[in-house]
A and B are shown apart, each in its own frame.
Chain A
Amino acid sequence: MQILEVKGVNKRFGGLQALNDVNLSVSEGAIHAIIGPNGAGKSTLLNCFIGRLNPDSGSVTFNGNSLLGMKPHEINQVGVSRVFQTPEIFVDLTVLENVMIPALAHRDGAFKLNPFRRMRQETDMRDKAIDVLEDIGLEDKLDMTASSMSRGDKRRLEMAMGLVQDPKLLLLDEPTAGMSRADTNNTIDVLKHIGDSRGITMVIIEHDMHVVFSLADKISVLAQGTVIVEDVPGNIKGNPKVQEAYLGTAN
């Protein structure tokens, strides 16, 4: 079953056609990677999924409902969570609070007026948050203020914030950018483990081919705003179109 379907999406910024008739479909439970050279339109496409940008034309359908025109919090509430490329965490709050916020938002909906409920009554959400933080390897930093974490840990925290919501679809924007090789491998293991154990559908935008080929079930190659190939990893490497997009035409 296709959980996310993108049909004929166009987006123009002034004179630049950032997305040109993009078609994409993501099957439920799959890890789908979107790769492509710099400026291919990967981030623009992702921003169209989460309500940051509205495409000029085309449709983005999630579980049969259009995501276009929905507000960011509404898109999240239907089950699409996003992990940001540059960590966007709540820097003044603790690691545990950072993860409990999305957990509470998932349970309570977009707004709940409960000013007299005690935070320490939320043991279920606390346990759930700690569970995810254990998966991701941050369980010994629960009470640390998020701003004082290393960059790698902040990115892991970002991921935990997405995962704790048990999303139907998790969007990851370059989850390993700027990470050391060891951290990258660790992240691959975590994502694999989560993909297997929780059965979360993921769309990953990635530069690092090592990451893409270790994780993805399916790959879409984006170049100059268009999907040029969509195939399983084994068929991507040898594809002449892909080589052309990355290396340029051999003269």
Chain B
Amino acid sequence: MNNSKYSDAALLLFFIIMVVAGPFILAPFGGSYPDLLQKFAIFGIFAIGFNILFGLTGYLSFGHAVFLGVGSYGAVWMFKLLSYNVLPALVMAVVVAGFFSVVIGYISLRRSGIYFSILTLAFAQMMFNVAYSVATPITNGETGLQIYNDDPQWLQGADSPLTTNLFGLKMNEVFWRPEFFGFEAQFNVGYYFCAFFLVIAFYLALRITRSPFGMMLRAIKTNQNRLSFTGVSTRPYMLAAFVISGMYAGLAGGLWACMDPLAGAERMQWTASGEVVLMTILGGAGTMLGPVLGAGFIKYFEAIFSKINDQVLHSWFAFMPDGMENFMVAIVHPFVGKGWHLTLGLLFMMIVIFLPGGLIGGLTSLGRVLTGRGRKSKG
């Protein structure tokens, strides 16, 4: 417990360096462009927040995308009513997500285990359908909520930019495009804005995990019944964890809207809720770095695999005889492009079966084998 002070500081420093150097690190992998980098940070925040609930308490929410979705709607409404400034949008996103997580959490947490998961899933589907149809005046239904020229934007200054900005600093601006080992690295304002919140989110999650509150949450995961016989009322602890992770999701949704001022109901669909579960488990549930790594992993493969089409495949297998080439393309075809989820599914199965601790668990054991000594603490 005492030595965690130094290893936590080291962990945080490592995290900050990785995030700041993100555009460089990803350049050789073809991932250094604003859209993908922003997604890493946004879904990193989403997964860190989800991990506070799932990783610490073991309660598996299957409806967390709701909070991301309402966060996005809240943010876009601020753009429509006030101005393109991102700060009020983010505040609104977190507040709205917090409100919804109090209501949904209060009801869902009356049950535990699979029933809790089903309740959250039911809420998510309900919210998705409401956003898609009934609540059209607020959500603009199928089209999605976006900003129109006749929106009031009461606080929009005459000379401030007509795109999301932080007091004039445009989110979509790329301010530096250095060459890095022959690859272009794009340094973007929006990414660093998201990265700032990612680092804060990571730091707060670290503090929560190491607090007495965090210890109670871990005790809930281990033996909730025993904890109540120890004098702890477990439900408020659960609700607090649920709301904190809901607000993280709201922040992620708000940031997403700040990068691209749109909000659609599909952000709340159950597949989106499932995705954050995959990210967390893939990276390593209950670890500090795991969820961010899992989020990056999934978003990266989504970007890379979904871009591969038959033309690219043909160029890969061009060295083969014609019949063989067509055969190989036909085999690989279902795993790329629109079918990249198939690849993701296979990767997910392999990781769950062979690396039960997720990517972080795998890296930890690898490190142990390489250094030849048992290391107790892990990120």
Seen from chain A, the residues whose Cβ lies within 8 Å of a Cβ on chain B are 50, 71-73, 76-77, 81-82, 84, 88-93, 96-97, 100-102, 104-106, 108-120, 122, 126, 143, 161, 165
- Residue B5, interface by CB 8 Å: yes
Q: Whole-angstrom distance between the alpha carbons of A96 and B227 in the complex?
A: 15
Task: State which of A50, A90, A122 has its C-beta within 8 Å of the C-beta of B222.
Answer: A90
- Could you say which residues of chain B place their CB within 8 Å of the CB of A119? 1, 210-212, 214-215
Task: State which of A77, A81, A96, A116 has its C-beta within 8 Å of the C-beta of B207.
Answer: A116
Which 3 residue pairs spanning A and B have beta carbons closest together?
A: A76-B231, A110-B233, A105-B231
Q: Whole-angstrom distance between the alpha carbons of A100 and B212 in the complex?
A: 9
The smallest beta-carbon distance between A146 and chain B, in angstroms, is 9
Known: A113-B240, A115-B207. A96 touches B1 (CB 8 A): yes
Known: A90-B219, A92-B222, A101-B219. A115 touches B229 (CB 8 A): no
User: Are B231 and A110 neighbours in the complex by a CB distance under 8 Å?
Assistant: yes
User: Are A88 and B223 neighbours in the complex by a CB distance under 8 Å?
Assistant: yes
- Could you say which residues of chain A place their CB within 8 Å of the CB of B222? 90-93
User: Are A106 and B5 neighbours in the complex by a CB distance under 8 Å?
Assistant: no
* Residue-wise interface mask of B (1-42) relative to A, using a CB-CB cutoff of 8 A (1 in contact, 0 not): 110110000000000000000000000000000000000000
- Could you say which residues of chain A place their CB within 8 Å of the CB of B82? none
User: Are B237 and A116 neighbours in the complex by a CB distance under 8 Å?
Assistant: no
The smallest beta-carbon distance between B356 and chain A, in angstroms, is 14
Secondary structure type dominating chain B contacts: helix
- Residue B168, interface by CB 8 Å: no
B: number of interface residues (CB 8 Å) = 33
User: Are A100 and B218 neighbours in the complex by a CB distance under 8 Å?
Assistant: no
The smallest beta-carbon distance between A80 and chain B, in angstroms, is 9
Q: Whole-angstrom distance between the alpha carbons of A77 and B232 in the complex?
A: 8
- Residue B230, interface by CB 8 Å: yes
- Residue B289, interface by CB 8 Å: no
- Residue B115, interface by CB 8 Å: no
Known: A93-B218, A119-B212. A73 touches B207 (CB 8 A): no
Q: Whole-angstrom distance between the alpha carbons of A88 and B227 in the complex?
A: 9
Known: A76-B229, A100-B215, A101-B216; 15 extra A-B contacts, CB below 8 A, are A88-B225, A89-B223, A90-B219, A91-B223, A93-B218, A93-B219, A101-B215, A101-B230, A102-B230, A104-B216, A113-B240, A117-B213, A119-B215, A120-B5, A143-B1
Q: Whole-angstrom distance between the alpha carbons of A138 and B222 in the complex?
A: 21
- Could you say which residues of chain A place their CB within 8 Å of the CB of B233? 71, 73, 110-111
Q: Whole-angstrom distance between the alpha carbons of A138 and B213 in the complex?
A: 25
Task: State which of A84, A116, A161 has its C-beta within 8 Å of the C-beta of B211.
Answer: A116
